[in-house]
Structure 1
């Protein structure tokens, strides 16, 4: 059973759906709603359990999260949209391509990867999920996830950005974060899915992203039939939050070109 997602919906024009990173919420897309909402219809859902969306009782799965997004778009009467996802949101975007390809007008994959977790990565996620459930707080996320979310330049020069990210991590509901960690640990390799994506795609990465480095971005570009790569300097894993102006410029050019292309 799908969960009815809470979503912020601003602007008019080509629908642009932005799916948030773990363990944040659609609040991370504030600069995108403000910077892109004047040109496009920007829809930023809270994935299940985060922000204003209920968690539900289904088994953890990125496919379930993708079905939630598809249900949201159909409820809004949107036949096709540019689907963008950052980090965990990218995993959900790829699952959407696999399960609901008819909805995808264009694809934006930011600071994410198509490979499944390594065994060590999977074990780490499950360990964190167990601690989240046991402690009932986001402490493990602040200790272990937060330091990897932003790059060294942000840590040194963008104290307000780091403080905002820390606040979003601290606000993550423990039950939702545990569920999402289990969902990501179980996600499949998505390279075959990407090879079947015929919509134009944009892959974005940051020069200081340790969680999804440039090699992962290039591998996705190679798998996608019609993709371009953009590398944002001096940014870590949260490119849309760390360098919002550059991120918005890249995304706006991509979506505007799509809007001009006959469908």
Structure 2
């Protein structure tokens, strides 16, 4: 089978997206939820080999020094039980912007929209509605 065959990408992603790795992206409670672990793992597999490699090799240089250039209202949403990004990182991100609001969503890890979709929506929708209403009054 040729190296570019789609099955090779699927096999690569399966080998490199272990359940242990996926569990690290979830809150401690959700890390024990086999269905959620499988769902997140399958999402990685579905992305395929090339996307997996690009994400894994991506060098992410911080732009923290440029956060002050952001003047628009910004909602920073962080997961209270995120084991990949710290609370300090979220606080630093929000503090770097002039008009940012920081909200921590409890009982969720790094995969927040998957782990706590209703809590996520309950934060985002009112925030957007308020901004829309403020804009309409201008």
TM-score of Structure 1 vs Structure 2, range by shorter chain: 0.7 to 0.9
Task: Please say if 1:222 is aligned against 2:98.
Answer: no
- Residue 46 of structure 2, aligned match among 157, 171, 175: 171
* RMSD after superposition: 2.3
Structure number with greater CO (CA < 8 Å, separation at least 6) is 2
Unmatched runs of 5 consecutive residues or more in structure 1: 1-131
Higher relative strand content? 1
> Does the CA-based 8 Å contact 1:154-1:242 persist in structure 2?
yes
Q: Residue in 1 aligned with 2:131?
A: 258
Contact kept? 2:24, 2:83, Cα under 8 Å: yes
- Residue 188 (str. 1) matches residue 64 (str. 2): no
Inter-CA distance 238–245: structure 2 relative to 1 (3 Å threshold):
same
Q: Deviations over 1:53-98 (max 9, x none)?
A: xxxxxxxxxxxxxxxxxxxxxxxxxxxxxxxxxxxxxxxxxxxxxx
In structure 2, the partner of 1:234 is 107
Deviation at 1:146, TM superposition (A): 1.3
Paired with 2:109 and 2:93, the residues of 1 have a C-alpha distance of 18
**Distance in 1 between residues matched to 2:117 and 2:53, nearest whole Å:** 28
- Matched residue count: 128
- Partners of 2:21 and 2:50 lie apart in 1 by 16
Quote the Cα distance in structure 1 between the aligned partners of 2:25 and 2:114. 10
> What is aligned with 1:106?
none
Contact 2:44 2:52 in 1 (8 A): no
- Greater helix share, structure number: 2
- Choose 1 or 2 for highest CA Rg: 2
Q: Structure 2 regions of 5+ residues with no counterpart?
A: 1-7
Displacement of 1:162: 2.5
| Mapped partners of 1:193, 1:145: distance in 2 | 31
The answer to whether the 8 Å contact 1:146/1:169 transfers is no
Quick check: 2:30–2:36 contact (8 Å CA) kept in 1?
Answer: yes
1:207 shift after superposition: 1.9
Rounded Cα–Cα distance in structure 1 between residues aligned with 2:116 and 2:19: 24
Q: Give the match for residue 35 of structure 2.
A: 160
Per the alignment, residue 116 of structure 2 pairs with 243
Question: Which SS does the other structure have where 2:47 is aligned?
Answer: coil
Scaled by the length of structure 2, the TM-score of the pair is: 0.81
Runs (4+) of structure 1 exceeding 6 A deviation are: none
In structure 2, how many angstroms separate the alpha carbons of the residues matched to 1:179 and 1:206?
Answer: 25
TM-score, structure 1 as length reference: 0.44
